[in-house]
Amino acid sequence: MNFHITPSGKKLVTVIPGDGIGPECVESAMRIIEATGAPIDWEVRHAGASVFKQGIASGVPQDTIESIAKTRVVLKGPLETPVGYGEKSANVTLRKLFETYGNIRPVRELPGVKTRYSGSGVDLVVVRENVEDLYAGIEHMQTPGVAQCLKLISAKGCEKIVRLAFELARAEGRRSVACATKSNIMKLTEGMLKRTFEAIAPEYPDIQAWHIIIDNCAHQLVKNPAQFDVIVTTNMNGDIISDLTSALIGGLGFAPSANIGNEVAIFEAVHGSAPKYAGKNVINPTAVILSAVMMLRHLGEFEAAAAIEHAVLVTLESGVLTRDVVGDANAASTTAYTDAIIANLGKRSANWTVRDYKPIRLPQVSDHPVAVVPKSRRVVGVDVFVEWPGDPASLGRSLEAIAEGTPLRLKMISNRGTKVYPSVGAITDCVDHWRCRFVLRDEHNGADLNDADLLALLQRVAAQHRWMHVEKLPEFDGQPGYTKAQGED
């Protein structure tokens, strides 16, 4: 990665102070970095609430984008997400604008921070895919009463995040990577991460690789978190379990993160802007400080990073703790805590060590949009989604009549994924959103459904029914590229 070097030989970092408690946390981290003497210079830019108030709907102004494109490295405070329709989260926008596909969230047990897991040796990293999945934010109202969010997972996205997880494990000298998915239910999307993981794992024989269903992963994390080392997972799973893992070590005040891309990296706390504490000098800045430590390692400043991590451990061990850990009485203010860390730079704890880090080798995956080329492909049918206020049997009879004389026949209708026509005797509380599956008739077995026949059918359906979208039913290399409804043969 090409960092921007200033005329005085320093590495330039874009700083976004953020909203709520953001500016206090970021200032604390900047003061500590400056005290180490690391060759870092700052370019302050803005995003989030103040920018939305100026009427910039993305929450990210052009000069912030330009600064990041130049420096390639960002230290960021939390940004408030606007509540309501339309405006997108500026956090998600920043992550997606710069393709920071990997979200790395380490947690480790810390001295002086008592939790019910103290002494168990929690020290793990969640590697969360950061730009795909339900967070691609592609949502549509299908009917006035039914909403849809597309869960998009790509083979390329899976390869990048899986390789990043294994490379991180190597760089940090970790022993295992667990892949946590819901592939048992979402076989194509979540299953793609599992299959990619299984295909790539043999390239890392020095690292133990295993798969775990995400709900059991949550259960095991609460039961015995020390069994985990690195966990790689999809975007939403990772969002949820990384908040869980932060609670294992004392809460959001201690959970750092890095958003890693091949061009840009953004370092920020897992926590949000906690507006009720803004400007009160009471919050815990450790999460942003440890995010800044990750940033220093990313910039190759390993010595300064280790010095800060040691100083944080020494400070916590000495009992200088913020309000979130010890309550109001005896709490150090944000600034007093920061001063204590600065005073402890150069000291080392006798009881707590810091890992030996090597630079992460970022995965090099082709930037060509096509990641998979099948040897054969064809379309075997089409799902037509219809808004219908009535019962499934009358819709079914109507669609069967519509398909008569065409190469397609109605195979079944499902409602929210459960087959309701022909009836299998299920007791389903239906809504006005029906997936009507048409497949090529037996006499066309082995054929490829052409667009003319598909559009002719759609036109016939449209003459009598309100449809809202269609999905082709593809087959790649003889394998169905779609799943069956519950109850479908």
With CB atoms as reference, the residue minimizing the distance to ligand NAP is 272
Amino acid at 157: G
Q: End-to-end CA distance of the chain: give it in Å, rounded.
A: 52
Give the active site residue among 11, 96, 182, 419: 182
Considering the complex, state which of residue 239 and residue 383 has its C-beta at the smaller distance from ligand NAP.
239
Among 135, 194, 339, 411, which one carries the catalytic annotation?
135
Say how far apart CA 365 and CA 350 lie, in whole Å.
42
Give the shortest CB-275-to-ligand NAP separation in angstroms.
6
Region of 116 on the Ramachandran plot (φ > 0 left; ψ -120 to 50 alpha; else beta): alpha
Coil vs helix vs strand at 259 = strand
DSSP assigned state of 487: T
What distances in angstroms separate CA 360 from CA 162, 164, 200, 475, one per listed residue? 13, 8, 17, 38
Q: How far apart are CA 156 and CA 172, in angstroms?
A: 24
Q: How far is the CB of 318 from ligand NAP (least distance, A)?
A: 19
Structure tokens at 207: 């690292």
- Among 468, 444, 467, 456, CA closest to 380: 444
The binding track of 403-442 with respect to ligand NAP, each residue x by CB under 6 A or -, is ----------------------------------------
Rule CB under 6 A: choose which of 93, 181, 273, 398 binds ligand NAP.
Answer: 273
Question: 472 an active-site residue?
Answer: no
> Residue 268 or 383: which CB sits closer to ligand NAP?
268
> Does residue number 113 form part of the binding site for ligand NAP (CB under 6 A)?
no
Q: Does 253 bind ligand NAP (CB under 6 A)?
A: yes
Question: Which 57-86 residues touch ligand NAP, going by CB under 6 A?
Answer: 78-81
Give the binding range for ligand NAP (CB under 6 A) out of 283-291, 309-317, 350-358, 429-437: 283-291
**Catalytic-labelled residue, pool 63, 70, 114, 215:** 215
Binding region for ligand NAP (CB under 6 A) out of 27-35, 126-134, 264-272, 425-433: 264-272
DSSP assignment letter at 332: P
Strands 265-269 and 73-76: parallel
Helix, strand or coil, per DSSP, at residue 271: coil
Residue 174: CB minimum distance to ligand NAP, A: 25
From the list 250, 272, 381, 407, which residue makes contact with ligand NAP (rule: CB under 6 A)?
272
Q: Please list, residue by residue across 20-30, b when 16 or more beta carbons sit within 10 angstroms of its beta carbon and e when fewer do.
A: bbbbbbbbbbb
Tokens representing residue 136 in the block: 């691609």
- Whole-number minimum distance, CB 122 to ligand NAP, in Å? 19
- String marking each residue 329-348 x if it binds ligand NAP according to CB under 6 A: --------------------
Q: How far is the CB of 252 from ligand NAP (least distance, A)?
A: 4
Q: Which stretch binds ligand NAP (CB under 6 A): 162-170, 282-290, 369-377, 411-419?
A: 282-290
The helix/strand/coil state of 420 is strand
Largest Cα span, the chain: 84
Are the CB atoms for 206 and 168 separated by under 8 Å?
Answer: no
Residues contributing to the site for ligand NAP (CB under 6 A) = 21, 78-81, 91, 252-253, 268, 271-274, 283-284, 287, 324
Q: Which residues are catalytic?
A: 135, 182, 215, 239
